[in-house]
Structure 1
């Protein structure tokens, strides 16, 4: 797969569709590789007239792993000790902006899920000249009063270092049973196949921990979101247990003119039965640009 150098890291990316079409850049969430954007989802967006680009964020997948920076002390983060934080969401936003520029794209339609939504929001705030439209999915503003998980234990988000293949796959399946869409069920076979593909491609728990630290120490983006002048759609599942729907509502309230699309039976995943609703909302918003 091709790579580009951006902000001192190498980012692995892949494209779908005609390069002559408007660029649509997909930004994935915490600990997830670009293949978490399903091939069929990407192809469907390309069929609607976009050159779709998905990529691995830093520290995940085939992009640069930053193990030389050291591990994160996750429990210490919750006591206010930020000494082990290795980089921030703004660094990841700079990676994304650099990818857009390295690919020679004048402006891109940004679509981000969860942490990817946070990164896309920051790119729109910090580098508005690169952004044609913004779709923030199952994400939040960084205001600690909204978007908080309703899980009993968020440690389930952290893959276990040193886990063997079977244990790593089982943990991923268990996580998405917990945070996935209760009204749009994915088959157990599909969950296992998706988890296996991720583990076999690149298993990197330390990178997930460093990304997690970037999220929990990020500043509230609300003031910046209020300055946006780009067409924006906020998409959120009413059954999201990882990022409560209040985060989506707050994001839509912060961005002038933003549209809020709620999918009542969607959790914190991209179930195929919700693709049409998500894609329609993304494409309709992009058309406003």
Structure 2
């Protein structure tokens, strides 16, 4: 079932629900500039067998309102949007699953609105914490000195995004997913192309969004709140992650009180077919325990 939810004056978000309406709610929070359809149907379906799964388009993505140039907002506003989606659907508490920027938004909600969270699953993201990372040998690395984005991805992000038409934009997105996926799982260009073609059709245009890259990213540190949270938290460790490479997942698990880790073999910063089954199993197990 699809609907639109008003989250701020002049701002509406596209929202879709799957699964039994009386099942526990599970909210999927996607990354920067990513439509809710970035959560593949093949991943949503097994989750919807047990939960009321909710996915949505952030502001300036998909069918939601694109107004950043007229009404700029900080990244923290996107966490508020997620809570307002739950409000509009009458959901008091939900299991939250966030990927990339979505994982940071989930951390904000865990820290600021823990009463709304049944459990949290964090994928391909970094800790909103300044605590140092403690290595197995006991040495420590300051959070700001943990490994950064891979050089190949940085080079790609440095290129200006020019509108050269729908086909060129589709090819750019496919190549982007090739790099994001890492080097462990063979890249399926046809699958990536199919997914992005569907997202472009869903959005109604092919234009690349840049709002989240330009939004104010200040005020997101939640070191103390995450260190004392009681929200059951699962951190997905992806060995081929090029955006938040190891040991970022282990750092999150140290920064968030009581968090536990699960590794998904071969996973990078993408959701190819090969990770759907193990990722769904990990989410279902964690939410079920909670």
In terms of mean alpha carbon deviation, does 186-195 or 211-220 score higher? 211-220
2:237 and 2:207 map into 1 onto residues whose CA distance is: 28
Any residues of structure 2 matched to 1:36-115 within 5 Å, and which?
36-47=38-49, 49-69=50-70, 86-115=72-101
Report the alpha carbon displacement of residue 200 of structure 1 after superposing the two structures with TM: 2.9
Partner of 1:154: 154
Q: 1:13 to 1:251 in 2, by over 3 A?
A: same
For 1:182 and 1:215, locate their aligned partners in 2 and report how far apart those are by CA, in whole Å: 32
**Shift of residue 135, structure 1, vs aligned partner:** 0.3
CA distance in 1, matches of 2:238, 2:150: 14
- Conserved? CA contact 1:30–1:115, under 8 Å: yes
Q: Show the counterpart of 1:270.
A: 271
- Distance in 1, Cα, partners of 2:160 & 2:196: 12
- Partner residue, 1:223: 224
Shift of 1:256: 1.2
TM-score (norm 2): 0.86
CA distance 1:247–1:88, shift in 2 (3 Å): farther
- Asked if the contact 1:226–1:255 (Cα under 8 Å) also holds between the matched residues in 2, the reply is yes
Deviation at 1:246, TM superposition (A): 2.3
Question: What is the DSSP-based 3-state SS (H/G/I as helix, E as strand, rest coil) of the residue aligned with 1:2?
Answer: strand
Structure 1 residues without counterparts, runs of 5 or longer: 71-85
In the alignment, does 2:6 pair up with 1:10? Answer: no
1:181, CA displacement in angstroms? 4.1
Q: CA deviation at 1:245?
A: 2.5
Structure 1 Cα separation of the partners of residues 65 and 148 of structure 2:
30
**1:32 corresponds to which residue?**
34
Residues 116-195 of structure 1: matches in 2 within 5 Å? 116-142=102-128, 143-146=143-146, 148-154=148-154, 156-157=156-157, 160-195=161-196
Question: Which string of whole-angstrom CA distances, capped at 9 and with x for unpartnered residues, describes residues 218-277 of structure 1?
Answer: 533333321321111000211111221222111111111111112241111012211222
Please tell me whether the aligned partners of residues 229 and 256 of structure 2 are also in contact (alpha carbons under 8 angstroms).
yes
Contact persistence 2:76–2:217 (CA under 8 A): no
**Partner Cα separation in structure 2 for residue 285 and residue 147 of structure 1:** 28
- 1:19 counterpart residue number: 21
Label 1:180 to 1:218 Cα distance change in 2 as closer, same or farther (>3 A). farther
Instruction: Name the TM-score, length of structure 1 as normaliser.
Output: 0.87
Q: Distance in 2 between matches of 1:138 and 1:95?
A: 21
For residues 276 and 183 of structure 1, what CA distance do their matches in structure 2 show?
17
Alignment deviations for residues 34-60 of structure 1 (CA, whole Å, 9 cap, x no partner): 11111111111012x101000001111
